[in-house]
Amino acid sequence: MNGTLSADEARLLTTAEQELVGLTLPPAITGLSRHDLQALARRLREARDRARAIASQQRREMRGKAEPRGTSPARDDAGTVAKKQLLADALRRVTQQLGHGADASDTPGQAEEPAALTTAPIAAPALAPKLAGGPSAASRSKKALLPRPASKTAVAKPSKLSTVRADMHKVGEVTKAVMSAQARRDSKPR
């Protein structure tokens, strides 16, 4: 990509999502610190999960499994699925950049807020605290941020629950009975 969204991609996203995805494109993503990338990944993950949930609801409405959320049931979920894919691709770019070790000098315990994310007009001022990502990194303890080493003496405990041994002949009989019953139901005229 060349650093800008196409008109079709921009049409699918809200203004705030366009700015989030814009930060993940090649020229902009290389200038972000590790802390900025982590905050960006968190917000992209939330947006992707929201788009995924909306697409799922729309599919359920189209199948008649759920009540419509609006005045009429959804007839198509292609736009929402494309939006989810755009957000997932942006999240993948951020994750890949995090894997490359962007700005190893940045530590998670830095007190300042991410400059690229606070100076860019992301959304309405009322949403700014929510998009900032909660408490600052300085308010969290360093011990909570460090990964805990695995114990060298950890041994899996055997389960105390009794194991049920199924008779394989019975399993086959039940499976066949269920298949036959379903075939009878399917063959009945509606």
Confidence of residue 113 (pLDDT cuts 50, 70, 90): very low
pTM of the predicted structure, to 2 decimals:
0.53
Q: Which of 26-40, 77-91, 121-135, 136-150 has the lowest mean pLDDT?
A: 121-135
pLDDT of the residue at 90: 94
Residue with tokens 């699918």: 12
Q: Which residues contact 88 (CB under 8 A, 6 or more apart)?
A: 48
Count other Cβ atoms within 10 Å, centred on residue 97.
Answer: 19
Residue 37 in tokens: 């990338």
Q: Give yes or no for residue 58 having a pLDDT over 50.
A: yes
